[in-house]
Chains A and B, each alone.
Chain A
Amino acid sequence: MPGSVTSVFGEANDFAAAMRAEGCCFGLLVTGPGAFRARLTRVALHRLRLSAAEEHLPRVALVAVPTDMILVSLPSGSGPAPIWGGLGLGAGDIMTLGAGQRLHMRTDGPCRWGAIWLPTGELVRYGSALTGMSFAVPAAALWWRLRPAMMRHLRHLHSAAIRLVESGSRAMIDAAAAHGLEQQLIHALVECLSKGSVIEVDRATREHQDIAVRFEALLRTEPERVLRTAEICKTLGIPARTLRISCEEQLGMGPTEYIRRRHTTGGRQVKVS
């Protein structure tokens, strides 16, 4: 049953809880001063879900994709886009994160972003039908550069649905409208993933992404204790320098600072469920 909602948040905890309700685990740590303010619009179609957010404070979060879904992140509106795994998202780029994958998503200030969540099985099924070949959905995080027309089309579809919900239109609760949008989005995504070009990500960045995710997981094993860098490095099996570089690149700050903030931000810090 299609449905949609727009929510405005004054608390990071509530914002993170709303994201968790979308089906992805979402740890969130606000990293800049000021009153938290965010707006999140969510559209549930039959099988796909769309979301768009506007945030005002810098923050870092760990996004975990459910095991049967794929996440597509795309720029929304003008202004800065989020930084995924230490890499910015250009105006003509999208990022895909496959089923069961985890990656840090960071903003360095006010930011807007859009996302599409869709079942991997649906994408494979329609991808194979449309291309006439077996269609593989990449599991690893991939950054794609799209042809301008492709990108425009994808953004139009996404933003039109979001705008309708934000304007209070009843259109998005109509089953036929939801079906049509879903079909057009699937078509657009298959085109993007079969005709777009993958942007090379160097090996070091991939390693840093992996280290940051493992670092986050380690912190969560003992949330009440302040772990020391040496202990962390020993557990992760990496030198302190590598940990520092990874954290700066992925989280926007060094490991010590990150741990300190996790403990001092109190109510603002949201633990991954």
Chain B
Amino acid sequence: MPSSAVRTFTDPEDYAAAIRQGTYELTVTQRGDFTAKLTRIDLHRLWMQRFSENLPRVSHIAGWGGRAVIAFRTRPGPRLLSSGVEMLPTNIVRYREGQSYYRLSSGFACYGAMSLPVAELVSLGATVAGVDLAPPKDALIVTPSQTAMAKLQRLHAAAGQLAEGAPEIIAHPEAARGLEQALIEAMVECLSTGETGGDRSALRHHAMILRRFRRAVEENPDQPLYIPEVCAAIGASDRTLRVCCQEQLGMSPKRYLLLRRMHLARRALRDSAPTGTTVTEIATRHGFWQFGRFAGEYRSLFGELPSTTLGHPRA
């Protein structure tokens, strides 16, 4: 049964949890009031999402087996990296089946995603376009013709507008089928006629290191992590890890782990009773030893002092 939903969020964690593919972690990297809009449309076999976020952030997206996933920008804007490659208004990222990856934005970002069952896309590629559309072994950048790209973006936007203004049309099976057909055709045209990116062996190696890095983070969901133990665990030097993170996350691992510790500290401050603990104890527990600097960074990231968060625990 086709369906759609449009939701707006002010809490990054709620937003991350609502994304269909499952974003394990979303870290906002700049101060401000976070707002995001998520449009989710499930047609018969084609699923799509539209995203709009106002603040820079880095997120990790979980792999999705069985479906062929693509993503592209729906509006131009500041730098947007996905799996270490830059998403431009003129290109599409095709992900490997089950691929987990990082997505990094450096400001206001609008982008969309579409997915079809792998078998369905392979069959369509063979019958409609005469090309092999099996998911790539690694994420690929595809640059379709301007016309094909514009068509896909237009149809994707139209579906988003319907979800917002006339969701009953999407819910109607026949109307949904028509929309789905048009979108699938546009998708196949883009993927079958577009030019694909060149050599990505270095990126592949870096992606492997990032996967190990990610695993180390996931195995310690509530623990602050530090560079020495991470380097020892994943078998990559500080320098190599820095290059990989800069490429895929747009920041050094030190900065990434610091932001992560900052978010863990915020969670601990929210979950603590103000009488039972102090900001200093929580700060040191999360590796912050310069308290003035911690308070300054915390404030610039979350818009309030740590003592304010501790004084107002989450209900």
In the complex, what distance in Å separates the CA atom of A125 from the CA atom of B228?
9
Q: Are B287 and A180 in contact (CB under 8 A)?
A: yes
A170 located at the interface, meaning its Cβ lies under 8 Å from any Cβ of chain B in the complex: yes
Main secondary structure of the interface of A (DSSP, over half): helix
A186 located at the interface, meaning its Cβ lies under 8 Å from any Cβ of chain B in the complex: yes
Chain B residue with Cβ nearest A183: B226
Q: Are A131 and B280 in contact (CB under 8 A)?
A: no
Chain B, residues 90-124, CB within 8 Å of chain A (1/0): the string is 00000000000000000000000000000000000
Q: Are A177 and B284 in contact (CB under 8 A)?
A: yes
In the complex, what distance in Å separates the CA atom of A120 from the CA atom of B236?
21
> What's the nearest-Cβ distance from chain A to residue B262, in Å?
13
A184's contact among B239, B240, B281, B287, by CB below 8 Å, is which? B287
Chain B, residues 44-61, CB within 8 Å of chain A (1/0): the string is 000000000000000000
B289's contact among A125, A130, A157, A190, by CB below 8 Å, is which? A157
Q: Are B227 and A187 in contact (CB under 8 A)?
A: yes
A181 located at the interface, meaning its Cβ lies under 8 Å from any Cβ of chain B in the complex: yes
Residues of B within 8 A of A131 (CB): 237-239
In the complex, what distance in Å separates the CA atom of A133 from the CA atom of B237?
8
Chain A residue with Cβ nearest B288: A180
Residues of A within 8 A of B199 (CB): none
Known: A132-B239, A156-B289. A164 touches B228 (CB 8 A): no
A160 located at the interface, meaning its Cβ lies under 8 Å from any Cβ of chain B in the complex: yes
Main secondary structure of the interface of B (DSSP, over half): helix
How many residues of A are counted as interface, with CB atoms below 8 angstroms from the partner's CB atoms? 26
Which positions 192-250 of chain B face chain A at CB distance < 8 Å? 223-224, 226-229, 231-232, 235-240
> What's the nearest-Cβ distance from chain B to residue A44, in Å?
16
Give the total number of A-B pairs whose CB atoms are below 8 A apart.
Answer: 73
B286 located at the interface, meaning its Cβ lies under 8 Å from any Cβ of chain A in the complex: yes
Q: Are B229 and A174 in contact (CB under 8 A)?
A: no
Q: Are B238 and A130 in contact (CB under 8 A)?
A: yes
> What's the nearest-Cβ distance from chain B to residue A91, in Å?
19
Q: Are B232 and A125 in contact (CB under 8 A)?
A: yes
Chain B residue with Cβ nearest A133: B237
B285 located at the interface, meaning its Cβ lies under 8 Å from any Cβ of chain A in the complex: yes
Residues of B within 8 A of A171 (CB): 280-281, 284-285
Q: Are B290 and A156 in contact (CB under 8 A)?
A: yes
In the complex, what distance in Å separates the CA atom of A160 from the CA atom of B235?
31
B224's contact among A160, A180, A187, by CB below 8 Å, is which? A180
Q: Are B287 and A181 in contact (CB under 8 A)?
A: yes
> What's the nearest-Cβ distance from chain B to residue A171, in Å?
4
B237's contact among A129, A160, A169, by CB below 8 Å, is which? A129
In the complex, what distance in Å separates the CA atom of A126 from the CA atom of B284?
22
Q: Are A177 and B285 in contact (CB under 8 A)?
A: yes
Q: Are A183 and B238 in contact (CB under 8 A)?
A: no
> What's the nearest-Cβ distance from chain A to residue B229, in Å?
6
Q: Are A130 and B237 in contact (CB under 8 A)?
A: yes
Beyond known contacts A130-B231, A180-B284: 8 more, CB 8 A cutoff: A130-B238, A131-B237, A132-B236, A132-B239, A133-B237, A174-B285, A181-B287, A183-B227
Interfacial residues, chain B to chain A (CB-CB below 8 A): 223-224, 226-229, 231-232, 235-240, 280-281, 284-287, 289-290
Pull 10 A–B residue pairs with CB atoms less than 8 Å apart, ordered by A: A130-B228, A130-B231, A131-B237, A132-B236, A132-B237, A177-B285, A180-B286, A183-B227, A183-B228, A187-B227
